[in-house]
Structure 1
Amino acid sequence: MLKSLWQYRHFIASSIRGELKGRFARSYFGGFWFILHPLAQALIFSIVLAEVMRARMPNIDSPAAYPIYLLSGMAAWGLFSEILNRSMGIFIEQAHAMKKIAFPRLCLPIIVWGSALINHVLLLVAIAVIFLFFGHFPGLAWIYLIPGMALISAMAFGIGVFLGVLNVFARDIAQVMSVVLQLWFWFTPIVYAKNVIPEKFHAIVDLNPLTTLVGIYQNALLLDQAPSIVSLIPSAVIGIVAVIASFFLFRRASPELVDAL
């Protein structure tokens, strides 16, 4: 499968370009909508929670700390949810192309992965500009977002492809996951800091692999701190296992995939 993906690398690259251009082909703002939607959602959270409800970060006096913390977490979650959701539905979405054109089917989630990473980088650029208005200048710790992006996207890709294959045969998967993702979001310290919740819930939050991965963004963007390598090992293992499991399931199911569509 990896060899076939390499042979179709130009097809993947051109498809990513085509998707980015085609999604907002007749839009006046074009690619800015990739950035504006997640930014608007994060800013609404910031205004409501930071200004109306007076949410503050513990042990940090800066009034901009909470909006920065929230924007960081929302950026990490946005990358995860976009790749997972789109990978989960890509085979059904592209059923017509799969029936008419001969190409490695695994190219489709790879295209989703590449497109989401480009969107995410553009979003981070916009976030950096917003941070300047807060008087918060990007530090060297921003470089740690690279392994964060790799781990988050790998986990989302693995889970998304695995569920995407199952979704072809049982369409209830997507409906169930829409609820699961909402719960997953609120069990991840994004709109709240971990140390403000009761201690009895800390073990549940720690079991969430995204807690550590989202923390990479929050520590790097807010505190200019590097992540603990040891703390990343469980999330890295989960991501690797998810990718391997998705490849295994895809290979076993691919002969029947098109017929099921």
Structure 2
Amino acid sequence: MFQSLWQYRHFIVSSIRGDLKGRFVRSRLGGLWFILHPLAQALIFSIVLSEVLKARLPDTESPAAYPIYLLSGLAAWTLFSEILMRSMTVFIEQAPVMKKIAFPRLCLPIIVGGTALINHLLLLFAIFVIFVFLGHMPGRTLVLLPVGIVLIAAIGFGLGVILGVMNVFMRDVAQVMAIVLQLWYWLTPIVYPANVLPENYAFVLKLNPIAPVATLYQDALLFNRWPSAESLIMPAALGLLSMAFAIVFFRRASPELIDVL
């Protein structure tokens, strides 16, 4: 399977390029919408919470700390949610192509992941430009970002492929996950710092594999501090296990995908 994916690497690269061009083919701003959507969401939250409700972060007096904190967490969440949601529906969306062209079906979620990674890099570049205007420059902890990207991509790809295959057989999966992701977002310390959660709900962060990765982004981009290695054990384990299970699950279900579609 991996050998066939390597043989179709040019197909994957050209499909990623075509996906990026095709999503905004008639748009005047084109790929800028990949960046503007999360930035607009961060701007709204920053105005409402930091200016209207006077929300402030502990351990810092910088007036730009909250927007930076929010943008950092949103960058991590946007990558995860895009890979997961698009992987869940990619087999259904590309059903006509799968019926007409012979190629490794696992190429489809890889294409989705490649597109999401490029969008993420563009978003990070836009965030760094905003940091310059805010007078904030990340320190040496910036080298942690590739670790966070790998962990998020692994979890998103693994869960996305599993749920994507299930969604072919049970179309309710995508509808349920849309609701679950909304709840998941608010149970991740992106809009609020983790220490404001009541003690009764503190266990939620320990069970949330995206929480330590979002915190890694915030530590790297805002606080310039190194996260503990223990906090990354769960997301790393989930990423490896979900990807391994996704590959096995996909190989067993792939012969029936075309018939169901």
Q: After TM superposition, is the score higher than 0.5? A: yes
Gaps of 5+ in 2: none
Counterpart Cα distance in 2 of 1:61 and 1:55? 12
Residue of structure 1 equivalent to 2:229:
229
Counterpart Cα distance in 2 of 1:236 and 1:88? 21
The answer to whether residue 207 in structure 2 is matched with residue 207 in structure 1 is yes
Counterpart Cα distance in 2 of 1:200 and 1:175? 29
How many pairs are equivalent? 261
Q: Percent identity?
A: 65
Q: For the Cα contact (< 8 Å) 1:73–1:218, is it kept in 2?
A: yes
Residue of structure 2 equivalent to 1:18:
18
- Per-residue deviation, residues 137-184 of structure 1 (Å, max 9, x unmatched): 132211211010000011011001100000000000001101110111
- For residue 200 of structure 1, report the CA deviation from its aligned partner: 2.6
The answer to whether residue 52 in structure 2 is matched with residue 44 in structure 1 is no
Cα-Cα RMSD: 0.9
Residue of structure 2 equivalent to 1:87:
87
Q: For the Cα contact (< 8 Å) 1:79–1:120, is it kept in 2?
A: yes
Residue of structure 1 equivalent to 2:72:
72
Amino acid in structure 1 at the alignment position of 2:57: M
Amino acid in structure 1 at the alignment position of 2:125: V
Gaps of 5+ in 1: none
Counterpart Cα distance in 2 of 1:9 and 1:227? 35
Superposition TM-score, scaled by structure 1 size? 0.98
Superposition TM-score, scaled by structure 2 size? 0.98
- Per-residue deviation, residues 100-119 of structure 1 (Å, max 9, x unmatched): 00000000000000000000
Runs (4 or more) in structure 1 with deviation over 6 Å come to none
- For residue 43 of structure 1, report the CA deviation from its aligned partner: 1.2
- Per-residue deviation, residues 38-92 of structure 1 (Å, max 9, x unmatched): 1111111111111111111012111111111111001100000000000000000
Amino acid in structure 2 at the alignment position of 1:173: V
- Per-residue deviation, residues 235-259 of structure 1 (Å, max 9, x unmatched): 1001111111111110000000011
Counterpart Cα distance in 2 of 1:8 and 1:29? 31
| Larger deviation, residues 227-236 vs 34-43 | 227-236
Counterpart Cα distance in 2 of 1:107 and 1:199? 44
Report matched runs for 1:168-183 at 5 Å: 168-183=168-183
Counterpart Cα distance in 2 of 1:132 and 1:15? 34
Residue of structure 2 equivalent to 1:124:
124
Q: For the Cα contact (< 8 Å) 1:24–1:30, is it kept in 2?
A: yes
- For residue 26 of structure 1, report the CA deviation from its aligned partner: 2.1
Amino acid in structure 2 at the alignment position of 1:181: L
Q: For the Cα contact (< 8 Å) 1:152–1:213, is it kept in 2?
A: yes
Counterpart Cα distance in 2 of 1:140 and 1:188? 25
- For residue 10 of structure 1, report the CA deviation from its aligned partner: 0.7
- For residue 3 of structure 1, report the CA deviation from its aligned partner: 1.2
